[in-house]
Structure 1
Amino acid sequence: MTMISKTTLGIAAGICGTIFLGYCFYFDRCRRMDPNFKKKLRERRRLMKANMKNTSSKLPNMNDHEAVQKFFIQEVQLGEELLGQGDVEGGVEHLANAVSVCGQPQQLLQVLQQTLPPQVFFLLMQQLPTIMNKGFPSNNATVSEDDVE
């Protein structure tokens, strides 16, 4: 078995690196010279912005009970998932959305108070007035900290 010297190995690695960089530059140049590149880039950015706007919660039609129920379940699931991932602010926002469309917010808040850590529940209680002012319905009941034990 023949031994390859360190010099030969270094030269081979240098040649492979140069070929790889040349490959990258060549295809980047081809991509940028494509007449549709800027159009595709703008379209991709526009779609990303649209998706970012769509990720925020949209208020369902309050007359459609199924839509409200689906929205409620979706917001609770998203809130729990985000809290599980460590995104406390996002989770609290989605839970506040769920409370705002809930038919019995006091009972839901009591359950959340028992299941959530105290600091997260406190953030939820702080978030509720801003969510209610954002255009969510009031459900003919105002939620205050006195309503929750």
Structure 2
Amino acid sequence: MTRSRRGVVAILVGSVLLCPILYCIYFDYKRRHDPAFRKLLRRTGKHHRQREAKLQNLRFRRLIDSRISELELNRRATLPPVENSRFILDNLSIGENCASQGDYENSALAFYTALYVYPSPEELLNSVMADDNVRPVLQQMIKLRPFRPPAQRYHVSPTIL
């Protein structure tokens, strides 16, 4: 009786281990010889990549929105110009450092924050876009999340910067 149990267990274990291998062989054969299956795989892969890109863009937009709401809660509209310009310069340097290291998400967030606080973001955007390392980050950032300055601007003297 124990021999028959061992035989049944051995057959079950063997089939459990053999089924994935046989499926891989079948999948490979189907992928190589069936054009419709290859087309289906390409379409599925393309759909998956598009969905992942949309999810990443959505996550980035939410991150920017949370950064802006956090900025609105923490910042007052009337800051001393020196402190406000230091905040802008710090964010610009953080953005440039992150862009040079390849951390594009944090770089874009720092640039977006600096643009959000700066009184004339068009000037700042034009001056920052001159840097070749930063240009792709800003283009991607603006494509994902168009910049909308706040209704009430912070008061900073541009000569301090």
The answer to whether TM tops 0.5 is no
Q: How high is the TM-score relative to the length of structure 1?
A: 0.45
